[in-house]
Amino acid sequence: MATNAAKTHMINLALLKLIGLTSSAQAMLKTDIDDSVFASPTAASGANKDDVMLYCTRYPDCLKRALIDIRPKFARRYADLGLPVSITEDGSTGLLYERADWVYMFDLPSNFLDLIGQTSQGCKTARIESEVRTAHTFAHVVKGSDGQAYYCSADVTGAAANTPVTGASYATYWTLFSTDDDDGVDFETGKAYKYNQTGKILLSNELSNADGDAAYIEYLAYAQDGVSDKPAYYDQHFIEAFVTLLAGSMAPWSTEQGVRQMLIQEYERLARPGALAADARPDYEPPENPWLDARNA
């Protein structure tokens, strides 16, 4: 894989903040870090591999925190979530108990980081009550043609051959969930169905897309190597906030804890508010997200 000069530069900016503040600060990196190391920090090699592993481990966590705290426009996306879903759930989050307070559940995009809000596709300034919860060990549940509900027991893309219960191979992918098909949702050809997964679920009482059959949301997106992980899209205020937070995270705990605390306070009191104020300018419209087409491909 290629080296990543832009992300290495962010780390060097963070290291610059530490130079002079702590006697154990490392020198700036002279060689750009490979993308494979950002993806898997334990793959770091060379004389300073332990330092590089630390930097690349802290990098995504600090970036996600900065994205959530500042909610920059470059990381915002709109998404039509597709038809409502029904799921099994292991009960560890109490999601199905809370489900009684909500009419609909929706899968969220694979690059979902945080919810800005459910909105209307026709009026994007609207805000509709909803919430996001994490469901553990769940599978999709669909209606069968026999008036019963079936849960996904093996990952499958919906097709005529695996339609419950008319498809010749349906039993390979679907297991009886209940004798009431109201416990499931309509089976969709082309949709990717999953089993035994953990994911975030949107709970809502309203359908808000243009077709009136799904939730429509504005959200923060994060995926490694996605737009929100590319420093070329950051304005200077966001860079300052992010590298300040990263520097605080990279500062040693052992001998000079005050440095870490000082940088975190600088982030909270100066850098983060500055980035929030700069990002409030009305000069950006988040793009539509084609995640649903990609998910169903």
Q: What is the mean pLDDT of residues 242-268?
A: 84
pLDDT at 212: 96
pLDDT for residue 1:
62
At 168-224, the pLDDT tens digits run 999 999 999 999 998 899 999 998 898 888 888 999 999 999 999 999 999 999 999
When pLDDT is cut at 50, 70 and 90, the band that residue 283 belongs to is low
In the chain, % of residues over pLDDT 90: 67
pLDDT band at 295 (very low <50, low <70, confident <90, very high): very low
Q: What is the pLDDT of residues 64-75, one digit of tens each?
A: 999 999 999 999
Q: What is the pLDDT of residue 277?
A: 83
- Rounded-to-10 torsion of CA 209, 213, 218, 223: -130
pLDDT, position 296: 43
Residue 34 pairs in a beta bridge with 3
The single residue listed with the structure tokens 């520097």 is 247
Q: Who's near 201: CB < 8 A, 6+ residues apart?
A: 85, 87, 95, 105, 106, 107, 108, 132, 133, 134, 135, 138
Average pLDDT over residues 155-163: 96
What HEC string does 65-125 produce? HHHHHHCCHHHEEEEECCCCCCECCCCCCCHHHHHHHCCEEEECCCCEEEEEEEECCCCCC
- pLDDT of 253 reads 66
Residues sharing a CB contact under 8 Å with residue 111, sequence separation 6 or more, in sequence order:
77, 221, 222, 223, 226, 289, 291
- The residues, ordered by sequence, that sit 6+ positions from 92 with a Cβ below 8 Å of its Cβ are 136, 137
Q: Give Cβ neighbours of residue 290 (< 8 Å, ≥ 6 apart).
A: none
